[in-house]
Amino acid sequence: MAKKAPNPIDKHVGSRVRMRRMMLGMSQEKLGDALSLTFQQVQKYEKGTNRIGASRLQQIAHILQVPVSFFFEGAPHAPGQGGGMAEAPSPAYVSDFLATSDGLSLTKSFMRIKNSKLRRRIVDLVEQIAGEE
């Protein structure tokens, strides 16, 4: 029997859990302990392999010190939602980037640079290296 792909909403919520956990410098094991779960279960939640129930999500929000709505910011819309109106591109790529260790590290380091002109020059440099769209 073929494995079912994770629901995009479950993947998004899981990536937001991972992003926030990493922002706080918390390990999967520590979050698992606070939830009375194994770190493997936390991994499954973060990958979207296992769905997070409403009461568990409330518990995670409390531990990670964010409102439950935080986990749904930038979430993809299910087919059929939106009444047929054209929608703006999803900002999910930003949260996907911040959910990576490189993205989080880069963002934290960048925000520690106090000189706004230097930050602007760094952005210009990265855009030049990447080749602007």
The one-letter amino acid code at 59 reads: Q
Tokens 């934290």 locate to 108
55, exposed or middle or buried, with CB in 10 Å at 0-12, 13-18, 19+? exposed
**Superfamily for domain range 1-76+92-99:** lambda repressor-like DNA-binding domains (1.10.260.40)
Q: What is the pLDDT of residue 5?
A: 80
Q: What pLDDT, in 10s, does the model give residues 24-67?
A: 889 999 999 999 999 999 999 999 999 999 999 999 999 999 99
Please state the pTM of the whole predicted model: 0.64
60-98 in b/e burial notation, b at 16+ Cβ within 10 A? bbebbebeeeebeeebeeeeeeeeeeeeeeeebeebbeb
The confidence band for 2, taking pLDDT boundaries of 50, 70 and 90, is: low
- Hey, where are the domains in the chain? 1-76+92-99, 105-133
pLDDT of 107-116, one tens digit each? 888 888 899 8
Query: Of 89, 133, 95, 87, which Cα lies nearest the Cα of 18?
Result: 95
Q: Give the per-residue pLDDT at 92.
A: 63
Q: Is residue 84's pLDDT more than 80?
A: no
Task: Using pLDDT thresholds of 50, 70 and 90, give the confidence band for residue 104.
Answer: confident
3-state SS, residue 90: coil
